[in-house]
Structure 1
Amino acid sequence: MTDMQIKAWIRANERFEGRSDGNGLYLSYREKAASPTWRFRYKLAGMSRVMQLGSYSELSLAKAREIAKELAARVALGYDVAAEKQDRKAAAVARREEEKNAIKMIDLANMYFERMILGRWKHPDIVRRRIDKDIAPHLGKMKVEDVKPRHIDEMLQAIVKRGAPSIANDTLRWTRRMFDFAIKRHMIEINPASAFDLNDAGGKELARERWLTRDEIRKLFIAMPLAKGFSVENDLSIRLLLLLCCRKMELCAARWEEFDLDNQVWHLPGERSKTGAPIDIPLPALAIEWLKRLKELAGPSKWVLPARKMQHRMIPHIHEGTLGTALGKVKPHMPDVPPFTIHDLRRTARTHLAELGIDPVVAERCLNHKIKGVEGIYNRHDYFNERQEALNRWANLLDQLEKGENYNVTPIKRPRQKIANS
């Protein structure tokens, strides 16, 4: 048999069941076949067997002869080459099916988020961010059972190298919980993150002490309008966080229905408060002014700070990391000011309230901290009027700082009342 002869058969559309080339190799060109097909015929234990090798368009005569020679050698050694091919095909199908049904790390993370976080956590977007920014990029495409401790270590070290040790610690905590979740549901038997502790991630987290001095606050007010890409909404949000002493997500997820601007009060509901109890936050005139500007910018949205990017619309308000990212654009305009975070603004407010002579209990309630000890148990007074006076004085100081006026405000001096123990 020659290639010229085969091509002549194809041109003439000459059909046949089988024409032998020797050594078990033959060519078949059946009716309705698009191309002739190579087959290998052999006998094993007295029984005739046939296996298909491929079409003439895929295998040349020379290649078909080479394959037939190799198969004949294996048959001579007692191997059933047709059965082996079927086994390989079945194994390939099984592997494809296994890959199709395999649970990837991103599937586990999403399952954990939907079943254990949504509806249980006040701020599920915090966990969502760790999944989207850290876990998914490093482990997301891997099958759950393929994740090894070295992969966990590589993920944690990548986070530490970008200068985010506390995020590395959080990512380790959530990753470990996800694998525990998988063990309970018989997806895996061993947690690859179980041997890691904080020393393998960001290390022990020390309490932060950073707060901004009066001069640093003034520099912040000057720098924010200068920062490229730093929106008016970001500027007003940071000012409100500083003035109202509230937590970041309490403001980021706030709805306009919570604010009574006419009566100058923010009714923060218990389900959005870290303490779990509602609180009325007095609004100084300066806060009312800033909120009205945000109202104009928000348009018809029911959110004080609506989401700004389409990809974040699954969370209707701004993302929990938005203000921190925006603050990074301001820092180059404050070269002589040590680094600080959004959360440091609460510490800044608390420090200056003390400097203004505000009673410690009132100052703590301004930050919506529970009163500790026996006093907290028996004293149910919410200090609204006292907090209103304190925040008005704090607003006055901030206003003076921005205007560059003399900001040596005289502290309030008043005796601390004692609360009976019974």
Structure 2
Amino acid sequence: MNNKQLDALIRAGNPIMIAIDSGLYFRIARGKPSWVVKYTINGKRSQVALANAYPIHSITQAKQDALQIRADVNLGIDPKAKRKRHQQTQLHTVNDLFNDWCINDIDKRLKHPDVPKRFYKNEMKKTIGNCAIKDVTPTDIREMVNTVLKTNRPSTANKTLMYAKQLFKHAVKLNLIRYNPAQAFTENDAAGHQEGRKRHLSLSEIEIVFLTLRKHNDIFTRDNYLACSLLLLLGTRKGELISAQWHQFDIKNRLWHMSIDNKTNTPISIPLSDTAIAILKELHIRACGSEYVFPARRLSKKQPFISHDTINHALSKMFGNTNKKRRVTPNYLGEAGIEHFTIHDLRRTCRSLLAKLGIQFSVAERCLNHKPKGIEAVYNQHDYLDERREALDLLANTLSHLIYPSTAEFK
């Protein structure tokens, strides 16, 4: 059988199956030609079509492929199973690898998979995302970590390295690479061991900070300001606050019924002071009918509430850091004499103020929804609601005139 004969059969268009070589057949079905290899494995007859048809695949190439299939069958390898495995999702770039890691690992294992996703998007993707997995070298890892270090974010540099190690460990597990290019690096190659942050704001600093934020509401919006006020008054985690929904709030009984979807996996009712109620009422108007307290500000957002980085970026600009558009704002807070702090430092400030006000340790810890440890967690099931209400009311009395003064300032 030669090319002219095959061309004639194709022009005729009749359904046909003709033997070309040992196990190799030329088939025309529904007017389309293809190569088919028939074989027997484990006592069962079967057949498989070659990936490319004639004339893209010549007679010679088809014979070579058929020969390879027969060799595989002799070794007990089913060509259909081999092809299916080959046709599974192919991972070529680091972006492909990360997506596979998300689907098959972190989305199943982690309660908050958005954290590593955020680190990858912000710190890793722009440096190595489009690189072939096998081409990433330790030098690339070092450059990526150093890029983060240059922005004066030591903790972020350490975490970026940690997630790089985990990501490429996933590649080793899938036999995509033989060694992990990030494995040999330690914290000393990033920012070194980081002690737990101790930064908290004094009352005098709180007064200056919130006054400065109010003066520059073109940079630090009113919604961001109110979010920071609630974080200081309630001591909640930022993620818990920005994802809160209005149905969770019982304004009449002055309670926020936080769902089980929090870091401790335990629902908790948070007492609301008069100041917190006033802030929530203002936010309710600003939400414009949204079911979320802090609705997303862009329609294209994947989540219905504001990004986890929104308030962080706003505060960063108040310290004069460059934003994504490369515009630099003055260091308003620094010029006001305020040492750098982060949004999470407001939670530490809340806890420190509760201690300063003489609030009992167990009550203060419960105010922050810290999970009890050891035998305390087993035997003490009291939720301290009344005690927490008294504590947070006392805290609000201390802070209200500093963070939520007369609305005349905002007109």
3-state SS, counterpart of residue 118 of structure 1: helix
2:222 to 223, 229, 232: 232
Q: Distance in 2 between matches of 1:320 and 1:122?
A: 16
CA-CA distance at 1:349 after TM superposition? 0.7
- CA gap 1:264/1:403 in 2 versus in 1, 3 angstroms: closer
Partner of residue 8, structure 2: none
**Alpha-carbon displacement from aligned partner over 1:296-332 (angstroms, at most 9, x marks no partner):** 1112222111121344x11221111111111123343
Matched, 1:275 2:268: no
**Alpha-carbon displacement from aligned partner over 1:187-230 (angstroms, at most 9, x marks no partner):** 22211111011111121111111110000111122011222321
Q: Give 5+ residue unaligned stretches, structure 1.
A: 1-99, 406-422
Partner of residue 296, structure 2: 307
Q: Distance in 2 between matches of 1:158 and 1:214?
A: 36
Q: Distance in 2 between matches of 1:344 and 1:160?
A: 21
1:252 and 1:305 in contact (8 A); partners too:
yes
Partner of residue 103, structure 1: 92
2:219 and 2:318 in contact (8 A); partners too:
no
3-state SS, counterpart of residue 281 of structure 1: strand
1:198 to 182, 187, 199: 187
1:105 and 1:144 in contact (8 A); partners too:
yes
Matched, 1:258 2:248: yes
2:158 and 2:190 in contact (8 A); partners too:
yes
Q: Distance in 1 between matches of 2:177 and 2:199?
A: 43
2:148 to 140, 148, 159: 159
- CA gap 1:121/1:300 in 2 versus in 1, 3 angstroms: farther
Q: Distance in 2 between matches of 1:217 and 1:113?
A: 40
CA-CA distance at 1:337 after TM superposition? 1.1
Structure 2 counterpart of 1:305, which letter?
F
- CA gap 1:244/1:221 in 2 versus in 1, 3 angstroms: same
How many pairs were matched up? 308
2:177 to 160, 183, 188: 188
**Alpha-carbon displacement from aligned partner over 1:358-385 (angstroms, at most 9, x marks no partner):** 1111011101112344333311101000
1:125 and 1:319 in contact (8 A); partners too:
no
- CA gap 1:102/1:282 in 2 versus in 1, 3 angstroms: closer
CA-CA distance at 1:120 after TM superposition? 4.0
Matched, 1:325 2:324: no
CA-CA distance at 1:129 after TM superposition? 1.5
1:324 and 1:342 in contact (8 A); partners too:
yes
3-state SS, counterpart of residue 197 of structure 2: coil
1:125 and 1:320 in contact (8 A); partners too:
no
- CA gap 1:119/1:268 in 2 versus in 1, 3 angstroms: farther
CA-CA distance at 1:255 after TM superposition? 1.5
Q: Counterparts in 2 of 1:26-105, with a 5 A limit?
A: 103-105=92-94
1:168 and 1:202 in contact (8 A); partners too:
yes
Partner of residue 63, structure 2: none
CA-CA distance at 1:101 after TM superposition? 5.9
Q: After the TM superposition, which parts of structure 1 deviate over 4 Å for at least 4 consecutive aligned residues?
A: 402-405
3-state SS, counterpart of residue 289 of structure 2: coil
Q: TM-score, normalised by structure 1?
A: 0.69
CA-CA distance at 1:404 after TM superposition? 8.2
Q: Distance in 1 between matches of 2:164 and 2:317?
A: 30
Partner of residue 390, structure 2: 389
Bigger Cα Rg: 1
Matched, 1:285 2:274: yes
CA-CA distance at 1:102 after TM superposition? 5.8
Q: Distance in 1 between matches of 2:91 and 2:252?
A: 57
**How large is the RMSD of aligned CA atoms in angstroms?**
2.4
- CA gap 1:403/1:147 in 2 versus in 1, 3 angstroms: closer
Q: Distance in 1 between matches of 2:224 and 2:296?
A: 12
Partner of residue 208, structure 1: 197
Q: Counterparts in 2 of 1:123-138, with a 5 A limit?
A: 123-138=112-127
Structure 2 counterpart of 1:340, which letter?
F
Partner of residue 358, structure 2: 357
Structure 1 counterpart of 2:391, which letter?
A
Structure 2 counterpart of 1:247, which letter?
R
**Alpha-carbon displacement from aligned partner over 1:37-85 (angstroms, at most 9, x marks no partner):** xxxxxxxxxxxxxxxxxxxxxxxxxxxxxxxxxxxxxxxxxxxxxxxxx
Q: Give the percent of matched residue pairs that are identical in Structure 1 and Structure 2.
A: 42
Q: Give 5+ residue unaligned stretches, structure 2.
A: 1-88, 320-330, 407-411
